[in-house]
Amino acid sequence: MAELRTASTAPAAPVAARDRQGRPLRDLRVSVTDRCNFRCVYCMPKEVFGKDYPFLDRGEILTFEEIARMARIFRELGVEKIRLTGGEPLVRRNLEQLIEMLARIPGLDLTLTTNGSLLKRQARALRDAGLKRITVSLDSLDDAVFRRMNDVDFPVARVLEGVEAAAAAGLSPVKINMVVKRGENDASVLPMARHFRGSGHILRYIEYMDVGHTNGWRMEDVVTAREIIEMIGAETPLEPVEPNYTGEVAERWRYRDGSGEIGVIASVTQAFCRDCTRIRLSTEGKLYTCLFATGGHDLRALLRGGASDREITDTVTGIWAKRTDRYSEIRTAQTAKLQKIEMSYIGG
């Protein structure tokens, strides 16, 4: 008798909304701030994002309560993973309070992408608040190259301290993301591989992308995934590994000698739109169905206009159901010039 009762009272598993290409909605990326303490040349070039740049005011950005409400609604729509991004998420004060709220949502995989600059100080608190995993962006071990790329003269050593603090706090394996740009840091590819091989951390190389419309992207500056794998494999043999799940962004490779794994994120040369299950919520509550979108959908007006959860759920379902995005499959030199939304605003 008891068994029967339990079966009928268990909450039904959320049914994933599907887009025009049948892709389920699984991953929500939430940008908690449009601000950053770095000025990475491929994301937030200083000449555009200078001291007079009109960043969003406090009243314009979603509160933690609003983000948590949206997260619950997305969970009901089948979202299994939330990645907190920015700008630089750790510059948003008391972020661990938001993480505590999100960690209470059952069945949610909670992760965060950071530039690591503030991680040494915050790693323990993030973990204690309920963060499960973390990704740290690091574009070189060469201090001069790294300082030039972050363009705020920030030293590598402090990011590496952040990585170790995250691992010590239990946020491991730590994923390390390196954007590779030809003529900028491609000479750092092998030193990064040597440093993280055998460390237990997972290094992923990202092809330089035409995100936003201010980084002056050119195809000739892209070091392809194939070049990167050949470069590393020539030194330490690699073999491909099956993805952990459908829609995983990074293509996995492991060292044949068992000393670890790396990944390549090849949005430019090996588009993965076919399995893209990601949606993005900007700092001020706009929804974007693609990293390379040119426009979004305002949800903040609903949140602050008294809309019910049902109304917001229906709106989001409607937006996703109409989704046809596959930008990386149709990228050209012309599309690269479109007024696309900045990555620093909607998160990577």
Q: Which residue has the tokens 């696309």?
A: 340
Nearer to ligand SF4, 96 or 207 (CB): 207
Give the span between the Cα atoms of 270 and 197, in whole angstroms.
24
Least gap, CB of 202 to ligand SF4 (angstroms): 20
Least gap, CB of 111 to ligand SF4 (angstroms): 17
Select from 115-123, 199-207, 268-276, 334-342 the region that touches ligand SF4 (CB under 6 A). 268-276
Residue 112 pairs in a beta bridge with: 84, 134
φ, ψ dihedrals at 114, nearest 5°: -140, 160
Q: Does 278 bind ligand SF4 (CB under 6 A)?
A: yes
Least gap, CB of 84 to ligand SF4 (angstroms): 17
Q: Which of residues 198-217 bind ligand SF4 (CB under 6 A)?
A: none
Residues 6+ apart with CB under 8 A from 314: none
Window 295-334: contact mask with ligand SF4 (x via CB under 6 A): ------------------------------xxxx------
Q: Does 272 bind ligand SF4 (CB under 6 A)?
A: yes
With CA atoms as reference, report the closest residue to 98 among 71, 79, 60, 74: 71
Contact 85, 54 (CB under 8 A): no
Least gap, CB of 83 to ligand SF4 (angstroms): 13
Select from 130-138, 147-155, 164-172, 287-295 the region that touches ligand SF4 (CB under 6 A). 287-295
Element (H, E) at 255: strand 251-255
Nearer to ligand SF4, 104 or 274 (CB): 274
Least gap, CB of 248 to ligand SF4 (angstroms): 11
Least gap, CB of 256 to ligand SF4 (angstroms): 29
Contact 328, 268 (CB under 8 A): yes
Q: Does 338 bind ligand SF4 (CB under 6 A)?
A: no
Token pair of 258, please?
A: 């068992």
Nearer to ligand SF4, 193 or 290 (CB): 290
Q: Does 251 bind ligand SF4 (CB under 6 A)?
A: no
Nearer to ligand SF4, 255 or 272 (CB): 272
H-helix segments, the chain: 2-9, 64-76, 95-103, 119-129, 143-150, 156-168, 189-196, 225-235, 300-304, 309-321, 327-330, 343-346
Contact 284, 296 (CB under 8 A): no
Q: How many residues bind ligand SF4 (CB under 6 A)?
A: 12
Token pair of 225, please?
A: 């995934």
**In this structure, what DSSP letter does residue 247 have?**
T
SS3 331: coil
Select from 57-65, 132-140, 199-207, 265-273 the region that touches ligand SF4 (CB under 6 A). 265-273
Nearer to ligand SF4, 166 or 249 (CB): 249
Percent of the chain that is helix, strand, coil (3-state, to 5): 35, 15, 45
Q: Does 273 bind ligand SF4 (CB under 6 A)?
A: yes
Q: Does 92 bind ligand SF4 (CB under 6 A)?
A: no
Nearer to ligand SF4, 20 or 104 (CB): 20
Contact 174, 136 (CB under 8 A): yes
Q: Does 27 bind ligand SF4 (CB under 6 A)?
A: no
Element (H, E) at 297: strand 297-298
**In this structure, what DSSP letter does residue 60 have?**
G
Q: Does 276 bind ligand SF4 (CB under 6 A)?
A: yes
Q: Does 345 bind ligand SF4 (CB under 6 A)?
A: no
Residue numbers at the binding site for ligand SF4 (CB under 6 A): 267, 272-273, 276, 278, 290-292, 325-328
